[in-house]
Amino acid sequence: MQNSGLTLTKLTTLLNQLHDGVFSVEDGLIVYANETLSMLVGYRLDEILQQPFTRFIFPADLEKVVRYYQARMQGEDVPNEYEFRMLSKQGIAIDIRVTVGVSVAEDGLRTSIGTIKDLRETKRTMRDLANSQRDIESILNNMPDVFYRTDLQGFITLMSPSCKEVLGYEADEMIGRPLANFYCTPDEREKIVTAIQEGQGKSRQVEACLIHKDGSKVWISTNAYTRLDEHGQTIGVEGIARNITERKAMEDKLTTLARIDDLTQVHNRRYFYEEAEKQLMLAQRYQRPMALLMLDLDHFKQVNDTHGHRAGDDLLIHFAQICRSTIRETDIIGRTGGEEFAILLPETGLDAASLLAERIRSNVESSSLAFNHAILTYTVSVGVAVRDTEDMNIEKMLSQADKALYAAKKAGRNCVRIYDAEKSEVKLLQT
């Protein structure tokens, strides 16, 4: 019956198929090496066998390997697994990990037997990972935008160092705290959460207001998306936030410039008419009263001719200040012409509007303005109109108030006239 056991030939074939090198050393000489070890160092097997093992050790590691070998052969306790470098036929250092033991024969012969694992790919991968980690850390440390991560509960798990520049906090001060704590209001956070949900896990350029460590407001624009684990389950949110506070301030300034008269700091003509249209639509819809005053400074040209345009400008500023100090916060004032102004009075009927018009006229008449050692006095004429019909529009209302203003001018100025919609005529203010 044929022997079916593991023959030497079969054993040799098996060892040659291993991914790791296999060796045996007796009296310092290599007595066995498999083909994997041969390919590792670049020598033929006949160039390896019966050669001192020290021939294949990188010189810088030779002292350690010899010391371990001698101690092991003497039965001392030394590491059975450790790393060192072998030397290839081309003189190249090869990172390996050796696992070695000692076999003792009946005659007392001690044989060192072990396996060698090629670490070059592992080391290369570790170096690549380390380089990648350094690259990521360098990017995070130097990027002006803020990179952040939160878990499913909204607690911050990662924050780039740039948060110090943007929000005044060190990263360690923010990590572990709810990101919601840093929004100006819950609504600001909700904008981003809603955008992520509506964007199916992604949001782009969502603007929100955060609170700086010093209490000031910081506007950011963020791109955020949900983080998934290897099973596709949501584990949190991460994103990049850019500080847009300066841009928002510039936008607000431009918006203000588009709405405000540069000289008097009241609404300009275009914005006043836009707001008047909106307020009139609301008044029409809910059947609420609304009034409009048209005001014109009397003999304004004489001030410019006598004292110069600088005096005229100061007078316009002075008049706007009187109006603002007399009307309510909900009232809307605008400069509609050179020395012409208009005041919209929401939730105001004819009687209250007439009284306010007279109060402004009286305050102007009793005031004065010092200019270049001269005391300037002036007066104002006022026309009053109210919302009177279902089909009232702002042009019609302005026309009625303008007719009343024209009547006040014609009556000698420094007075108030009211447009009577029922009679389609202008009447005197009853005091």
Name the percent of the chain lying above pLDDT 90: 61
CA distances to 108, 157, 173, 418 from 31, rounded to whole Å, are 17, 57, 63, 121
Which stretch of 192-196, 312-316, 387-391, 406-410 has the lowest confidence by average pLDDT? 387-391
For residues 152 and 134, the model is more confident at 152
State whether 150 and 201 are in the same domain.
yes
Residue 186's SS3 state is helix
Last residue of a domain, one of 249, 275, 292: 249
State whether 280 and 389 are in the same domain.
yes
State whether 209 and 338 are in the same domain.
no
Q: Answer yes or no: is 130 within a domain.
A: no
State whether 112 and 206 are in the same domain.
no
Residue 218 is predicted with a pLDDT of 93
Mean confidence (pLDDT) of the chain? 89
State whether 241 and 265 are in the same domain.
no
Q: How far is CA 203 from the centre of its chain?
A: 12
State whether 207 and 328 are in the same domain.
no
pLDDT of 23 above 80:
yes
Residue 358's pLDDT band (cuts 50, 70, 90): very high
pLDDT tens digits, one per residue of 287-312? 899 999 999 999 999 998 888 999 99
What is the rounded end-to-end Cα distance, in angstroms, of the chain?
Answer: 137
State whether 203 and 107 are in the same domain.
no
Q: Order the strands of the 202-211 sheet from edge to edge.
A: 156-159, 146-151, 234-243, 217-228, 202-211
Q: Residue type at 49?
A: L
Q: Answer yes or no: is 268 within a domain.
A: yes
Residue 344 structural domain = 260-428
pLDDT tens digits, one per residue of 363-375? 999 999 998 888 9
Residue 425 is predicted with a pLDDT of 63
Residue 333's SS3 state is strand
Q: Answer yes or no: is 424 within a domain.
A: yes
Last residue of a domain, one of 190, 220, 249: 249
Q: Are strands 369-371 and 374-376 parallel, antiparallel or unpaired?
A: antiparallel
CATH of residue 324: 3.30.70.270
Residue 100 is predicted with a pLDDT of 94
pLDDT of 54 above 60:
yes
For residues 17 and 174, the model is more confident at 174
Name the percent of the chain lying above pLDDT 70: 93
Residue 1's pLDDT band (cuts 50, 70, 90): very low
CATH of residue 69: 3.30.450.20
State whether 115 and 148 are in the same domain.
no
pLDDT tens digits, one per residue of 133-149? 676 666 666 677 888 99
Q: Residue 103: is it exposed, middle or buried by C-beta count within 10 angstroms (0-12/13-18/19+)?
A: exposed
Q: Given its phi and psi angles, is residue 308 left (phi above 0), alpha (psi -120 to 50 degrees) or beta?
A: left
Q: What is the average per-residue pLDDT within 342-358? A: 94
**Beta-bridge partner residues of 29:** 26, 52
State whether 275 and 423 are in the same domain.
yes
Residue 252 is predicted with a pLDDT of 81
Residue 5 is predicted with a pLDDT of 60
Residue 390's pLDDT band (cuts 50, 70, 90): low
Cα separation of 330 and 356, whole Å?
A: 14
Q: Answer yes or no: is 411 within a domain.
A: yes
Residue 257's pLDDT band (cuts 50, 70, 90): confident
State whether 96 and 148 are in the same domain.
no
Last residue of a domain, one of 226, 249, 272: 249
Q: Answer yes or no: is 323 within a domain.
A: yes
State whether 323 and 355 are in the same domain.
yes
**Beta-bridge partner residues of 82:** 98
Residues in CB range of 288: below 8 A, 6 or more apart: 282, 346, 347
pLDDT of 28 above 90:
yes
For residues 286 and 333, the model is more confident at 333
Count of structural domains, the chain: 3
Specify which of 7-21, 156-170, 254-268 reaches the highest per-range mean pLDDT. Answer: 156-170
Residue 248 is predicted with a pLDDT of 87
Q: Answer yes or no: is 255 within a domain.
A: no
For residues 371 and 8, the model is more confident at 371
Q: What is the average per-residue pLDDT within 17-35? A: 91
Q: Answer yes or no: is 385 within a domain.
A: yes
Cα separation of 327 and 330, whole Å?
A: 8
What predicted TM-score, i.e. pTM, was given to this entire model? 0.52
pLDDT of 415 above 90:
yes
CA distances to 156, 257, 310, 418 from 178, rounded to whole Å, are 6, 38, 57, 60
Residue 128's pLDDT band (cuts 50, 70, 90): confident
pLDDT tens digits, one per residue of 81-104? 999 999 999 999 999 999 999 988
Cα separation of 168 and 144, whole Å?
A: 13
Residue 120's SS3 state is helix
State whether 117 and 147 are in the same domain.
no
Q: Answer yes or no: is 35 within a domain.
A: yes
Cα separation of 348 and 328, whole Å?
A: 11
In which residue are the tokens 């990179």 written? 147
